[in-house]
């Protein structure tokens, strides 16, 4: 075939058509650059009660299997040590199959193979080892209550956890949900995003191989308004965890409330400020601001999508941010050296393109990018807008694409106020050499995570979640355990005289 993908990553307003980077793929001439030429899709059926089965309307069947595995065991009744060992064995299997898994994740999602292999698969294994470490350390307290009573609290699993995950980090979202739920002894029905069903089934198989009993982890794919809604409103699901858009978050919260009032944790959208003060290391700030926005094709809920830069360093910053975006290499995610693959699907692609048009129409300055790359697939030029104002749509809405918006500010109070003037509150970045500025701003920002002179540092032990309409509850770390535990107080009179 002739090259269907001839990419030219160049700025629209700035390079005058000079073809700086041209990438080809899909041709035999590029074969030596391909890291993984073939992908094996082995598991495409739903995993229910320990078996792969054809899809039907399966939420009831999956919930039934999870219910039985919870009520009759063996999972919640196994010793903590045994449960922990299964999770550790699973992490080993993830590492053993890391290449197939990384290839499948890239095939399914479009993110670079390099990222899948070096970041996401290791983080998946790490997260399960982290939660395996908690399994035998979850326990209640004895309580010094008034009166002649022995009072203790039991920390029990909630029961059947329903989990709905998005498409931008299929395996990591799987890990953030399944890790703590299993550690606490729950059983699970997890629904993957309709765009990315493949890797969850693969790791589901690895869990069976690791010794997880049938029915403990059931995995279904399906669309949101049908399969997702059925899970959220199911009377026999005891807890719901959701990651996705704020609009859908509101829907599932309503479904949970209107069915059995199951508790809900929500991890939703964001419009995170990335604030660069005049004393920051500008080159480092430019690189991290670029990373904060463009990582994962810009499809991150915590993307640093409002880059606030102090007026004294603004011009220098914009020039360097544009130069960096122009160097970004877009193309076949399986090829070495590629930094950016395609957007997930046509819906998201069209949405991002609409926001780019909106930026141009509202008179932000398009520094570079702004167009589709080629005419096949959903590749978008790394795009940078400067002179962005707070009231523009591109500064208010979550774009979820490779579009950086740079805004100018004058002083600390002003930037704190403007950074907080959003319905979201997921994350923020602060770049400064002053400890006082860093401390003051991190305390003033209404966001679940503040990264100081760094960004997107994720670790199994660091909690993540949102203020305001970015959600409620925290995932990862010790905090996520609370989402999956019931606390029972047991009060027993002491028959001997008070001491």
Is 245 an interacting residue with respect to ligand ADP (CB under 6 A)?
A: yes
What is the DSSP-derived secondary structure letter of residue 430?
A: E
Is 11 an interacting residue with respect to ligand ADP (CB under 6 A)?
A: no
Residue that the structure tokens 């028959």 belong to:
495
Considering only the stretches 85-93, 212-220, 242-250, 406-414, report the one whose residues sit in contact with ligand ADP under the rule CB under 6 A.
242-250
Q: Sort strands 46-48 and 51-53 into parallel, antiparallel or unpaired.
A: antiparallel
> Any residues with CB less than 8 A from the CB of 118 and at least 6 apart, and which?
none
Taking the CA of residue 247 as centre, how many other CA atoms within 13 Å lie in the half-sphere pointing to its CB?
4
Is 259 an interacting residue with respect to ligand ADP (CB under 6 A)?
A: no
Contact set for ligand ADP, span 427-456 (CB under 6 A) = none
Catalytic-residue membership of 339: no
- Least distance to ligand ADP, CB of residue 59, Å: 11
- Least distance to ligand ADP, CB of residue 223, Å: 6
Is 248 an interacting residue with respect to ligand ADP (CB under 6 A)?
A: yes
Cβ proximity to ligand ADP, 166 vs 333, nearer residue = 166
Residues 85-124 as b/e (b if ≥16 CB within 10 A, e otherwise) read bbbbbbbebbeebbebbbbbbbbbbbbbbbbbbebbbebb
Is 188 an interacting residue with respect to ligand ADP (CB under 6 A)?
A: no
According to CB under 6 A, which one of 11, 185, 204, 244 is a site residue for ligand ADP?
A: 244
Residue nearest to ligand ADP (CB): 224
Cβ proximity to ligand ADP, 229 vs 276, nearer residue = 229
Tell me how crowded residue 288 is: count the other CB atoms within 10 A of its CB. 22
- Least distance to ligand ADP, CB of residue 251, Å: 4
From 120, 267, 398, 475, active-site residue: 267
Is 232 an interacting residue with respect to ligand ADP (CB under 6 A)?
A: yes
Is 194 an interacting residue with respect to ligand ADP (CB under 6 A)?
A: yes
Give the closest residue to 268 by CA, choosing from 351, 348, 168, 158: 168
CA–CA separation, 418 vs 388, rounded Å?
13
Is 397 an interacting residue with respect to ligand ADP (CB under 6 A)?
A: no
Give the closest residue to 307 by CA, choosing from 431, 216, 188, 411: 431
- Six token digits for residue 132: 């395996």
Residue 195 burial (10 A CB sphere; 0-12, 13-18, 19+)? middle
- Six token digits for residue 442: 């991190």
Helix intervals (H) in 162-214 = 170-183, 198-210
Is 229 an interacting residue with respect to ligand ADP (CB under 6 A)?
A: yes
Considering only the stretches 81-89, 245-253, 333-341, 403-411, report the one whose residues sit in contact with ligand ADP under the rule CB under 6 A.
245-253
Angle at which helices 170-183 and 98-109 cross, to 10°: 120
According to CB under 6 A, which one of 179, 228, 298, 429 is a site residue for ligand ADP?
A: 228
Is 251 an interacting residue with respect to ligand ADP (CB under 6 A)?
A: yes
Give the closest residue to 421 by CA, choosing from 376, 399, 389, 457: 389
- Least distance to ligand ADP, CB of residue 400, Å: 7
According to CB under 6 A, which one of 47, 103, 172, 252 is a site residue for ligand ADP?
A: 252
Cβ proximity to ligand ADP, 130 vs 464, nearer residue = 464
What is the DSSP-derived secondary structure letter of residue 477?
A: T
Considering only the stretches 59-67, 142-150, 222-230, 290-298, report the one whose residues sit in contact with ligand ADP under the rule CB under 6 A.
222-230
- Least distance to ligand ADP, CB of residue 224, Å: 2
Give how many residues touch ligand ADP by CB under 6 A.
17
User: Three-state DSSP class for 316?
Assistant: helix
Residue 162 burial (10 A CB sphere; 0-12, 13-18, 19+)? buried
Give the closest residue to 383 by CA, choosing from 407, 360, 362, 361: 360
According to CB under 6 A, which one of 35, 46, 193, 460 is a site residue for ligand ADP?
A: 193
CA–CA separation, 384 vs 428, rounded Å?
19
Please say whether the beta carbons of 266 and 303 come within 8 A.
no
Q: Sort strands 5-8 and 149-157 into parallel, antiparallel or unpaired.
A: unpaired
Contact set for ligand ADP, span 148-187 (CB under 6 A) = 164-166
- Least distance to ligand ADP, CB of residue 249, Å: 7
Is 323 an interacting residue with respect to ligand ADP (CB under 6 A)?
A: no
- Least distance to ligand ADP, CB of residue 464, Å: 17
Residues contributing to the site for ligand ADP (CB under 6 A): 164-166, 191, 193-194, 223-225, 228-229, 232, 244-245, 248, 251-252
Which residues are catalytic, by number?
267
């Amino acid at each position: 075939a002739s090259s269907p993908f001839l990419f030219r990553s160049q700025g629209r307003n700035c390079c005058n058509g000079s073809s700086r980077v041209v990438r080809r793929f899909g041709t035999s001439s590029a074969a030596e650059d391909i890291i993984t030429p073939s992908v094996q899709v082995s598991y495409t059926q739903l995993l229910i009660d320990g078996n792969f089965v054809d899809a039907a309307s399966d939420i009831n069947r999956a919930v039934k299997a999870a219910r039985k595995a919870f009520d009759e065991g063996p999972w919640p009744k196994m010793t903590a040590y045994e449960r922990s060992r299964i999770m550790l064995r699973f992490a080993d299997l993830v590492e053993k199959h890391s290449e197939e898994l990384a290839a499948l994740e890239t095939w399914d999602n479009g993110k670079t193979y390099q990222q899948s292999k070096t970041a996401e698969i290791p983080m998946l294994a790490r997260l399960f080892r982290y939660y395996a470490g908690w399994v035998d350390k979850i326990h209640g307290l004895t309580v010094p209550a008034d009166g002649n009573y022995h009072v203790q609290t039991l920390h029990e699993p909630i029961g059947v956890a329903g989990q709905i995950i998005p498409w931008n980090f299929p395996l990591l979202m799987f890990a953030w949900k399944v890790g703590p739920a299993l550690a606490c002894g729950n059983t699970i029905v997890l629904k993957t995003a309709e765009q990315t069903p493949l890797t969850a089934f693969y790791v589901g198989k690895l869990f069976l191989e690791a010794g997880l009993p049938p029915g403990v982890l059931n995995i279904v794919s399906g669309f949101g308004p049908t399969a997702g809604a059925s899970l959220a409103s199911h009377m026999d699901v005891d807890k719901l965890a959701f990651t996705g858009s704020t609009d859908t978050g509101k829907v599932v919260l309503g479904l949970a409330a209107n069915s059995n009032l199951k508790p809900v944790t929500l991890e939703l959208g964001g419009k995170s400020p990335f604030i660069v003060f005049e004393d920051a290391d500008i080159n480092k700030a430019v690189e991290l601001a670029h990373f904060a926005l463009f990582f994962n094709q810009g499809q991150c809920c915590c993307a640093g999508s409002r880059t606030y830069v102090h007026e004294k360093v603004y011009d220098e910053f914009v020039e360097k941010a544009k130069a960096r975006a122009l160097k970004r290499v877009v193309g076949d995610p399986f090829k070495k050296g590629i930094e950016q693959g395609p957007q997930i699907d046509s819906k998201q692609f069209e949405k991002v393109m609409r926001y780019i048009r909106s930026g141009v129409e509202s008179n932000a300055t398009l520094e570079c990018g702004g167009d589709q790359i080629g005419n096949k697939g959903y590749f978008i030029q790394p795009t940078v807008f400067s002179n962005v104002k707070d009231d523009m749509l591109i500064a208010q809405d979550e774009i979820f694409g490779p579009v950086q918006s740079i805004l100018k500010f004058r002083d600390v109070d002003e930037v704190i106020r403007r950074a907080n003037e959003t319905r979201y509150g997921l994350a923020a970045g602060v770049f400064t050499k002053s400890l006082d500025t860093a401390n003051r701003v991190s305390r003033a920002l209404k966001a679940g995570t503040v990264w100081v002179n760094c960004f997107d540092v994720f670790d199994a032990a660091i909690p993540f979640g949102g203020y305001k309409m970015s959600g409620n509850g925290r995932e990862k770390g010790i905090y996520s355990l609370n989402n999956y535990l019931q606390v029972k107080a047991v009060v027993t009179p002491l028959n001997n005289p008070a001491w």
